[in-house]
Structure 1
Amino acid sequence: MSIRFGVSPIAWANDDMPELGGDTPLESILKDIQELGFEGVELGGKFPRDAAALKPLLASYGIDLIGGWYSGSLLIQDADAEIAALQPHLELLKAMGSTVFVFAETSNAVHGERGIPLTGTPRLSGADWVLFGTRMTAVADYIQAQGLKFAYHHHLGTVVENAADLQAFIENTGPSVGLTLDTGHAALGGVDSLEVIRNHPGRVVHVHCKDVRWETFAKAKEGGSSFLDGVVSGMFTVPGDGGLDYAEIMRALKAIDYSGWIVIEAEQDPKLADPRTYAALGLKTLRDEAARAGLR
């Protein structure tokens, strides 16, 4: 069993809110990531999308490209159309030697809309889940045949947000549809990460670790804040600085012999939460708890 620790650049420069770290040079981000000891990084908005440019750039810092978020539209187009649309993203990942294709349905998502509250998440009916799941499975089968793990990212403000959504998603998709288990989005969406790991071990193919500030989230939700406003207010943080028990999470991953990337991904305002300082805390927390759990 092999575990590798990676990080998302979102704490340094937020793609959904360019005003958060938008002026931070990519080279500065990569230098921090290298010096902190991360083995890999997920794709960010500042990264070149040409492997001929990106490969030598990351190699110069000794960092692998883990994979990267892909925004899907399977609620409004069929699997063949989606497979055609994702080709540039897939080809970049393959050229970079990445192992994970992170997919999220965003055709009706509201997480990027500051005028829509956290309570405004779209919902699917039973019939919609069947069609959505069938299309998702076809895309995942294709990605798997290309040699990558397909890892669906449940996310606040999207159709797979809460426990009922996730259960319907799993029931209506085949085994090729893995999950990006995001501990922070799970917690705030009412999903128990430990139950997901224990009950659906074959689906957990990629892990994002962020911590949560429960009181901040409660205030944001009660006050009608949007997802992005919640981010700015600090509802997310890194492992070791919030309310989640990462000792339990690492033990649960050990129990299923999880092998793959564990990625720190905690979007915050970099002016209020220095990305390097917080990433260092998150990495130390995860390494320490993984070691205690025997997860290596």
Structure 2
Amino acid sequence: MIRTANAPVSYGVFELSRPDLVPLPDGGQLAAWVAEAGYDGVDLGPAGLFGDRDTLPGFLARHGLALAGGWVDLPFAGSDDDFERAMGDLDRMLEIFRAAADADPERAPKPTLADSGSAERKATPGGAPELELDDAAWTRFASRVRRAADRTREAGLEPTFHHHASTYVETPREIERLLADTDVDLTFDTGHLLIGGGDPLPDFLRWRDRVNHIHLKDADRSILRRAAGTADPMREVWQQRVFVALGDGDLDVDRIVDAIVDSGYEGWLVVEQDVILQDADAVDRARRDQVANRERLRRWFA
């Protein structure tokens, strides 16, 4: 069974947010909006947004939602000290995921591992061959991914890995490398794949056996060209709304969702539309967009 979810990032709640420009919704507001729009679940968002390991299950139950997953980035290409500190953070996050899974085992979340990226990658969203890790650095990177995945399984949870813009797993070539050198399955993100130069339909069919989580998002790739050469290209890409409502960008929504359904995939399909809220009107637009995104999917998921 495929269940639909939404995410705090669709309402401007993530690390690039600008609370100095417009107040962000709190956890209660956000969960209510997600439930009202008709989604079955929600991603975790920043730690504490929906509570801690003791309060999160009750909070979600009151809103009729399950926890679909949640972003956990680690500096897989960073220093040993930084990585070990991040593994401690992962342990604390896994306690929250475990509490959600215990409360709702049939709709258990997928802890969503990802790379933290680097300044070099953030300067070139979309990636480039010269930005790839060399063999020695990649060997260390893959070994650390395997450690994080094993740690997640030791907590009784199944991990997934999110390829993502401005990280060391961004392009189709880097995704292939990850799948070849680790046993962790993939969060297939249509929007980030478009940014990284992929083609969602054939890439999904090629990787289907390794896909255990899906982020469905549309993207306007022309934003990449307009952001190139700016002072902060990664922020500029998000600020110019590279991620748009389903059907408004370069994603062939009907064909990819047909393929997902026909493939027999079961699990969470998380609708995301990362936005940086810059005024009060943007808050209302985010709410409208997420309702429209859910309605866009009624053909497949009533």
- TM-score, normalised on structure 1? 0.86
1:80-114 CA-to-partner distances (Å, cap 9, x unmatched) read 87654411111110001133010011163667x6x
1:143 aligned partner: 152
Picking from 93, 98, 101, the partner of 2:111 is 101
1:133 aligned partner: 142
Q: Structure 1 residue 185 and structure 2 residue 192: aligned?
A: yes
Q: Is the 8 A contact 1:82 1:139 kept in 2?
A: no
1:278 aligned partner: 289
Q: Is the 8 A contact 1:153 1:180 kept in 2?
A: yes
Give, in whole Å, the separation in 1 of the partners of 2:259 and 2:119. Answer: 30
Q: 1:24 to 1:81 in 2, by over 3 A?
A: closer
Give, in whole Å, the separation in 1 of the partners of 2:62 and 2:120. Answer: 37
Aligned to 2:237, the other structure's residue is in SS state helix
User: Which residue type is aligned with residue 141 of structure 2?
Assistant: F
Q: Is the 8 A contact 2:112 2:162 kept in 1?
A: yes
User: Which residue type is aligned with residue 6 of structure 1?
Assistant: A
1:89 aligned partner: 93
Q: Is the 8 A contact 1:110 1:120 kept in 2?
A: no
Q: Is the 8 A contact 2:7 2:45 kept in 1?
A: yes
Deviation of residue 117 (structure 1)? 4.7
Q: Is the 8 A contact 2:160 2:212 kept in 1?
A: yes
Picking from 59, 62, 65, the partner of 1:60 is 62
Give, in whole Å, the separation in 1 of the partners of 2:67 and 2:232. Answer: 34
Q: 1:3 to 1:217 in 2, by over 3 A?
A: same
Q: 1:99 to 1:25 in 2, by over 3 A?
A: closer
Give, in whole Å, the separation in 1 of the partners of 2:75 and 2:23. Answer: 27
Give, in whole Å, the separation in 2 of the partners of 1:3 and 1:191. Answer: 24
Q: Is the 8 A contact 1:117 1:225 kept in 2?
A: no
Q: 1:215 to 1:208 in 2, by over 3 A?
A: same
Q: 1:120 to 1:53 in 2, by over 3 A?
A: same
What is the alpha-carbon root mean square deviation over aligned residues?
2.6
Q: Structure 1 residue 245 and structure 2 residue 244: aligned?
A: no
User: Which residue type is aligned with residue 67 of structure 1?
Assistant: G
Deviation of residue 187 (structure 1)? 0.4
User: Which residue type is aligned with residue 33 of structure 1?
Assistant: V
Q: 1:142 to 1:52 in 2, by over 3 A?
A: closer
Give, in whole Å, the separation in 1 of the partners of 2:198 and 2:127. Answer: 18
Give, in whole Å, the separation in 2 of the partners of 1:196 and 1:141. Answer: 26
Runs of 5+ unmatched residues, structure 2: 102-107
2:168 aligned partner: 159
Q: 1:118 to 1:255 in 2, by over 3 A?
A: same
Deviation of residue 276 (structure 1)? 1.3
Deviation of residue 77 (structure 1)? 3.5
- TM-score, normalised on structure 2? 0.84
Q: 1:203 to 1:80 in 2, by over 3 A?
A: farther
1:194 aligned partner: 201
